[in-house]
Amino acid sequence: MIGPDVSNLAVILITSGAILLVAYLTAISAKDVIRLLISLELMFAAVFLAIIPLFSINPPMAYAVAIITAFTSSTELLVLVTAIILLDRRKKGIGVDKVAVGGDSL
């Protein structure tokens, strides 16, 4: 026995929660969309950690969830890179303050 008596499940969930909270903090303090993209990737890292317990219950489903997470992250990167390019072309910058409202203009 080394250190406090903590299960590896608790260690993983605490680590996942900590990374997720840091990612949230990064997202709300971001001043440009690049930092927003990086914070979203951190959130996916937290999700990847959170699915480790599923490997002890149903490994095929856990692998499938991991693959879906990887695909979703790749697609999210694709969409955000496109959004960054469009924002830079239209607004001549990538700051989040350049986006006043979401959705289509009336």
Partner 1 sequence: MNIDTLIIAVAGLFAVASSVGVLLTKDNFYAALYMSVTMLFVAAIYAAFNIQPVVVIIALIFVGAVGIVTVAIAATYRARVSRKVNIFWVVPVIVVFAILALAYTSLAVESIEVVNPEVFAAVATDYFFVIAFLFALVVLMMLSAIKLARRVDL
Q: Where along the sequence are the contacts to partner 1 (CB under 8 A)?
A: 1-15, 17-19, 21-26, 28-32, 34-35, 37-39, 41-42, 44-45, 48-49, 52-53, 55-56, 59-60, 63-64, 66-68, 70-71, 73-75, 77-79, 81-82, 84-86, 89-90, 94-95
Are the C-beta atoms of 7 and 30 separated by less than 8 Å? Answer: no
Q: How far is CA 32 from the centre of its chain?
A: 16
Minimum separation from the CB atom of position 71 to partner 1 (A): 4
Which residue's CB is nearer to partner 1, number 28 or number 106? 28
DSSP H/E element including 75: helix 59-91
Which residue's CB is nearer to partner 1, number 67 or number 99? 67
Are the C-beta atoms of 40 and 34 separated by less than 8 Å? Answer: no
Minimum separation from the CB atom of position 101 to partner 1 (A): 19
Are the C-beta atoms of 22 and 42 separated by less than 8 Å? Answer: yes
- Give CA–CA dist 85/82, Å, rounded: 5
Minimum separation from the CB atom of position 15 to partner 1 (A): 3
